[in-house]
Each structure stands twice: as structure tokens, then as C-alpha cells.
Amino acid sequence: MTARLCDWAFISLASVDQAAVVIPKICERALMEGRKVKVAVFPFLLWRDSRKAAQEELDRILAETDRVAANNWMGDLTAGSGSFDDFTLDMLASSGGAIHVMGSSEVDALMLTFQDYEKDLRRFATDTIPLLSAQGVI
């Protein structure tokens, strides 16, 4: 349906490695319909002073997950949808389905997900956007 009707495919991936398989399939299906579809994925940015500290925070989030609520949400999302077949409950509960590590140059856009939205968005603006601008990315 996305290939026939949409200009954008907003997708979730269980891993970065899936991007190399899933994104070309979406684009190929669109080409078969005589269309071009842009693809956007969303990463979960969990910033801490170290990778270890970020992992500890993710572990804390998962340890405090309301499993009943997460299972209910997963059930609602997957009912009749092929988009979420490969998702784990932990991924959905920790980041709303966002990939924890990003990394495909074939993606047209990234939808950013932050744990502390206002604080992390401000940090992204001050710490990351200047680096991307300096490199000519934005």
C-alpha cells in the first residue's frame, strides 16, 4: 500500500542491519508502481557520559517496564500489521520502536526520539547541529 499511495514510508527497524534489506524492498515496490518513495527511520538517542552509562540507563528503563501495558500496546500495534513483525517487546517499551543505533546512508530522513525531549533537543541543537553544519550535512 505504501508503494502505491505514499510519498514517504515511516518505518521502524529491529536493527540497523535490517535497513539494508528493508529499505531497498520498499523502494523496489514503489518503482514497480511507477513511483518513488522516500524512507524515514527514527533512532532513539540515549545520551550519557559513556556508552556504559547509556547501557545502564537502557537496562534501568527495561527493568521498570510495565509489561502488561507494553504487551497491550504491542498487541494493538501488531494487529493486522506486517510492519511490526520483527519487533521485540523491549524495543517497543524502551523507545517506542525506535532503533537504538542508527546508520544507513540510504535513509532520506531521521525522526529523532529523545528520552528527555526538551533537554535532549536543546543539547542536539547546541552540540550536534553545529557539527553537522560544519561537515556540510545540513
- Model confidence over 11-49: pLDDT tens digits? 888 777 888 888 999 999 999 999 999 988 877 877 788
Please report the sign of the dihedral spanned by the C-alpha atoms of residue 54, residue 56, residue 58, residue 64. Answer: negative
pLDDT higher than threshold 90 for residue 5 = no
Full-model pTM: 0.59
DSSP codes of every residue in 68-121: HHHHHHHHHHHTT-STTTT--HHHHHHHTT-BSS---TT-SEE--EESSHHHHH
Q: How do residues 48-96 score in pLDDT, each as one tens digit?
A: 888 888 888 889 988 999 988 888 887 787 665 555 544 577 778 888 7
Instruction: Tally the domains of the chain.
Output: 1
- 33: domain range? 2-134
Contact 94, 62 (CB under 8 A): yes
- Indicate which CATH number applies to the domain containing 66: 3.20.20.30
Q: What cell does 53 get?
A: 552509562
Residues present in the chain in total:
138
